[in-house]
Amino acid sequence: MNTLASTRHFMLATIVVTAAMFIGADQVKAQTNLPDFTGLIDEVAPAVVNIETLTFGTRQRDRQRDDGQQQPNQDDLPDFFRRFFDPRGDGFQGGQPDRRSGGSGFIISDDGYIVTNHHVIDQADEILVRLEDRNEYYAELVGSDEASDIALLKIEADDELPVLSFGDSDELSRGEWVIAIGSPFSFEQTVTAGIVSGKGRTNATQQYVPFIQTDVAINRGNSGGPLLNMQGEVVGINSWILSSSGGYIGLSFSIPSIVAKNSIDQLRDKGYVSRGLLGVGIEEVSREEAEAVGLDKPRGAMVNRIEEGGAAEDAGIEVGDVIIEFDGHPIVVFNDLPPLVGITPPGSEVEIRLIRWGDEMTVTATITELTQDALAGIDTGNNETAQSNQLGLAVDSIDDELRNRLGNPEGGVVITDVESDSAYRAGLRRGDVILMINNQDVGSIREFRNIVEDLESGKSVVLLVFRDGASTFRAYTPETAD
């Protein structure tokens, strides 16, 4: 019986192998249901570029290097959202310009407009663009927007350039195949593929961008490169990853094309990006709050602050209202609201559906403009300041007018400049209000200076920071002097 069973198994295996040979490779590929990207890559790759930036020592990091300060080691960075491209570079060496591989980008018009990330070209003195055919061009910076992490460049080329067109990021679905092309670790024209993992993701420093989350392998140098759908359309711009080590772990985030196009059009037309402003502070709706205000489940954005004289106040919105729809778009979680308000042109009239203690109503608001000063949050003109300190943060005291603009934080000092690489990577920005340092309250410039002077060199520091009506902790290891 054993011999007979073995013979039958052998014959069955032979039949399976023979059948596979007759099926052919194409049919086997079809049965695996996996896409073939080769034709698509051949079509789109010529429009993807490598970007290098040059700096000539006029930046703060060069002064730090001249003073003998060490640059931070990425291994010492805290476990926070990290840019996979270091926007600050390695500094000045031997009196030569600092030439560093900045990242990626792509051409959007045959007359030479190129899109990349703001953090790729931030603080660059010269920008070098290299095409797939190895031609190189120096690029002019048309405009750059930190809030959306978008920059627009322009090159002058004699020949007609290959271009990529935008698709509709709103049409993306979870599980859909997408492709990234870029220059990770200076390996140009590198292609990776994966699926859309989620939509509408946010981080603390870019509340106006509902990021696309994918499992596409993205690493340092991919910044600014395109995220493409299976039709070869740009549906996103690769921007950052979530990682504990600075390398890819399966969580990559891209700026949706609908946000990118809005920023690009404004940068091309006027050199900067203006955004809509509703004039509210919002927070997540908890289960208990949903029950209290008459919602069937936690959803929407709860209003916790109304700016005096703003669009929300004029429309009759009150603290405690829960916004469930903005201009026809449902607000599922509170982070859905800022990107929608941001892309609304100032002066537009929009309908807002809200729940007020069990009653549903609709109000009409005329959206105002979020000015560049308000976005930065500073330019106070105060005389009392603290600069060039161990934290690498220039700060200023806060007068009553500025405190109102910043959302009425209690105490604190406002950041006027982020001079430190590691502070920038930790997410600190101009306009943030420092409330505490290592569990010590900061109520004035004097208190800030005293606390900073007593900090132990080379140790991590934790700051409680107030921004947009909410406070959050930021941790990093300051650069240390030799």
**Tens-place pLDDT, residues 11-33:** 554 444 444 444 454 554 445 57
Give the number of domains in the chain.
4
* CA dihedral (183, 34, 171, 111) positive or negative: positive
In this structure, are 362 and 407 located in the same domain?
no
Among residues 220, 254, 271, the one where a domain terminates is 271
In this structure, are 299 and 361 located in the same domain?
yes
Check whether 371 has a pLDDT greater than 60: yes
Q: What is the CATH number of the domain that holds 122?
A: 2.40.10.120
Among residues 344, 370, 396, the one where a domain terminates is 370
> Strand 329-330 and strand 98-107: pairing?
unpaired
Dist CA 113 CA 84 (whole Å)? 24
Find the mean pLDDT for residues 64-69: 40
Burial of 449 (0-12, 13-18, 19+ CB in 10 A): middle
In this structure, are 180 and 289 located in the same domain?
no
Confidence of residue 449 (pLDDT cuts 50, 70, 90): confident
Q: What is the CATH number of the domain that holds 282?
A: 2.30.42.10
pLDDT at 129: 95
Dist CA 67 CA 57 (whole Å)? 13
Dist CA 89 CA 98 (whole Å)? 8
DSSP string for 263-328:
HHHHHHHHSS--EEE--EEEEEPPHHHHHHHT-SSS-SEEEEEE-TTSHHHHHT--TT-EEEEETT
In this structure, are 182 and 223 located in the same domain?
yes
In this structure, are 439 and 310 located in the same domain?
no
pLDDT at 163: 96
Confidence of residue 392 (pLDDT cuts 50, 70, 90): confident
Could you list the residue range(s) of the whole structural domain that residue 428 is in? 377-476
Find the mean pLDDT for residues 362-381: 70
Output 232 or 400, whichever has higher pLDDT. Answer: 232
Which DSSP category does 82 fall into?
A: B
Query: pLDDT, tens digit, for every residue of 174-220?
Result: 999 999 998 888 788 899 999 999 998 877 667 789 899 999 988 88
Check whether 458 has a pLDDT greater than 80: no
Query: pLDDT, tens digit, for every residue of 399-426?
Result: 777 777 777 788 888 888 887 777 888 8
Check whether 248 has a pLDDT greater than 80: no
In this structure, are 461 and 411 located in the same domain?
yes
Is residue 122 domain-resident? yes
Dist CA 86 CA 121 (whole Å)? 10
User: For the ranges 60-74, 321-335, 409-423, which has the lowest average pLDDT?
Assistant: 60-74
Check whether 75 has a pLDDT greater than 60: no
Among residues 370, 400, 431, the one where a domain terminates is 370
* CA dihedral (57, 59, 60, 61) positive or negative: negative
Is residue 433 domain-resident? yes
Mean pLDDT across the chain, nearest whole number?
Answer: 80
Dist CA 119 CA 343 (whole Å)? 21
Dist CA 251 CA 265 (whole Å)? 29
Dist CA 306 CA 317 (whole Å)? 8
pLDDT at 407: 75
In this structure, are 41 and 26 located in the same domain?
no
Query: pLDDT, tens digit, for every residue of 88-104?
Result: 443 333 444 555 557 99
Is residue 412 domain-resident? yes
In this structure, are 46 and 24 located in the same domain?
no
Dist CA 274 CA 264 (whole Å)? 11
* Phi, psi dihedral angles at 346 (to 5 degrees): -55, 140
pLDDT at 27: 53
Residues annotated as catalytic are 119, 149, 223
